[in-house]
Amino acid sequence: MEYQQIEYALEDQVLTVTLDRPDQLNAFTPRMQRELVDAFDRADADDDVRAVIITGRGRGFCAGADLSSGAETFDAGVQSTRAGIDLTESIAATGSSGPYPRDLGGLLTLRIFESTKPVIAAINGPAVGIGATMTLPMDIRLAGESARFGFVFAARGIVPEAASSWFLPRIVGINQALEWVMTARVFPAGDALAGGLVRSVHPDGELLDAARELAAEIVERTAPVSVALSRQMLWRMLGADHPMEAHKVDSRGVYSTGQGADAREGVMAFLEKREPRWSMRPSVDMPDWYPWWDDREFR
């Protein structure tokens, strides 16, 4: 896919995806959504990608949905007509079997959720609406001092999207999530740190370096298949109703990875006091029990 609204740059096994509409503060469009989904598909298929950083070009991370369509921005019927297609075609294009299209933000966050690569958000400047919710399935969020966050949906007459009603309370707790959503407040990076939304706040000029340092630590220290499995285990156990569910998956995981080449290499590298040389690849070496969950249908 030819990218027009993002940049895809791989260096030292760290992929940096930059939202690239700086004159519009990287406002989110259907085109950007498709490009981001494609970028995650491409990253998962490339074993040279060990970690992914998402950031924004210019003064902002993502100022939310592009509102240039005016009052009908969120009206799917009007937008389909303007695009020259029937609403039924628009619904089908999102993979919906119901009477309404699937939320594009949710299609993106669900794709990020499925990633086999760790994802770091380097949030520079405004991250509002989808600009905030798209970061929720990312594994670690870092913010620049100029970052501003807002779950502003109620102030636009709509509701939270991008599956954020699932992600946000699990990250910051239900009380904090409700306060931010019901007030539609735009808040600074310090409040995001205090509320548990971000891991750390950095001077703007040091933000990307901090994200790259964290990504490099993952690349240099850990086995790719171990990280891919661990990422899915931790995320998916958030919805488990009993620790036995984790024990079942842990037991499979320890048994299968323990027999693998990376387990032997990890032990010998430690005993020989040298850097490990991992040989297993997520694209071909995931265990036969992965994935262990049933795919969810949208209906």
Q: What is the pLDDT of residue 88?
A: 76
**What SS3 state is found at 228?**
helix
Q: Is there a single domain that holds both residue 136 and residue 269?
A: no
Q: What is the pLDDT of residue 81?
A: 54
CA-to-CA distance for 65 and 31, rounded, in angstroms? 12
Domain boundary (218, 245, 262) is at: 218
Neighbour tally for 277: CB within 10 Å: 10
Verify cis geometry, omega within 30 degrees of 0, for the bond prior to 291: yes
Would residue 97 count as lying in a domain?
yes
Would residue 78 count as lying in a domain?
yes
Measured CA angle at 157 (ends 152, 159), to 5 deg: 65
Q: What is the pLDDT of residue 136?
A: 98
Domain boundary (218, 237, 256) is at: 218
Residue 183 in this model has a pLDDT that exceeds 60 = yes
Residue 217 in this model has a pLDDT that exceeds 80 = yes
Q: Is there a single domain that holds both residue 204 and residue 231?
A: no
**What SS3 state is found at 69?**
coil
Please write the tens of the pLDDT for every residue from 225-270. 999 999 999 999 999 999 999 999 999 999 999 999 999 999 999 9
Neighbour tally for 98: CB within 10 Å: 9
For residues 202-206, give the mean pLDDT: 98
Would residue 186 count as lying in a domain?
yes
Q: Is there a single domain that holds both residue 192 and residue 155?
A: yes
Q: Is there a single domain that holds both residue 133 and residue 281?
A: no
CA distances from 228 to 134, 266, 286 (A): 20, 16, 9
Verify cis geometry, omega within 30 degrees of 0, for the bond prior to 243: no
Q: Residue 65's closest CA among 111, 33, 18?
A: 33
Q: What is the pLDDT of residue 85?
A: 59
* pLDDT confidence band for 57 (50 / 70 / 90): very high
Would residue 241 count as lying in a domain?
yes
- Report the range of poorest mean pLDDT among 80-84, 86-90, 138-142: 80-84
- Report the range of poorest mean pLDDT among 58-72, 73-87, 141-155, 242-256: 73-87
Q: Is there a single domain that holds both residue 42 and residue 135?
A: yes
Q: What is the pLDDT of residue 73?
A: 63
Question: How many distinct structural domains can be found in the chain?
Answer: 2
Q: Is there a single domain that holds both residue 55 and residue 185?
A: yes
Q: What is the pLDDT of residue 91?
A: 74
Query: Higher confidence at residue 77 or residue 177?
Result: 177
- Is residue 169 within 8 Å of 201, Cβ to Cβ? no
Q: Is there a single domain that holds both residue 45 and residue 68?
A: yes
Q: What is the CATH number of the domain that holds 26?
A: 3.90.226.10
Q: Is there a single domain that holds both residue 257 and residue 211?
A: no
Q: What is the pLDDT of residue 171?
A: 98
For residues 110-132, give the mean pLDDT: 98
Would residue 262 count as lying in a domain?
yes
- Report the range of poorest mean pLDDT among 12-26, 66-80, 209-223, 242-256: 66-80
Q: Is there a single domain that holds both residue 192 and residue 121?
A: yes
Q: What is the pLDDT of residue 249?
A: 97
- Is residue 57 within 8 Å of 19, Cβ to Cβ? yes
Q: Is there a single domain that holds both residue 27 and residue 132?
A: yes
Would residue 1 count as lying in a domain?
no
AA letter at 219: V
Q: What is the CATH number of the domain that holds 256?
A: 1.10.12.10
Please write the tens of the pLDDT for every residue from 93-115. 777 777 788 899 999 999 999 99
Strands, DSSP E only, in the chain?
A: 6-11, 14-19, 51-56, 119-123, 126-128, 140-144, 148-150, 186-188, 200-202
Would residue 296 count as lying in a domain?
yes
Domain that holds residue 72: 6-218
Q: Is there a single domain that holds both residue 16 and residue 107?
A: yes
Start-to-end Cα distance in the chain: 29
* pLDDT confidence band for 169 (50 / 70 / 90): very high
Q: Is there a single domain that holds both residue 241 and residue 141?
A: no
Q: What is the pLDDT of residue 98?
A: 75
Q: How many helices (H) and strands (E) does the chain have?
A: 12, 9
Q: What is the pLDDT of residue 40?
A: 98
Q: Residue 197's closest CA among 133, 152, 240, 153?
A: 133
Q: Residue 216's closest CA among 14, 8, 47, 58?
A: 14
Residue 214 in this model has a pLDDT that exceeds 70 = yes
Dihedral of alpha carbons 262, 264, 266, 268, sign: negative
Would residue 146 count as lying in a domain?
yes
Q: What is the pLDDT of residue 212?
A: 98
CA-to-CA distance for 175 and 196, rounded, in angstroms? 12
Domain boundary (172, 190, 218) is at: 218
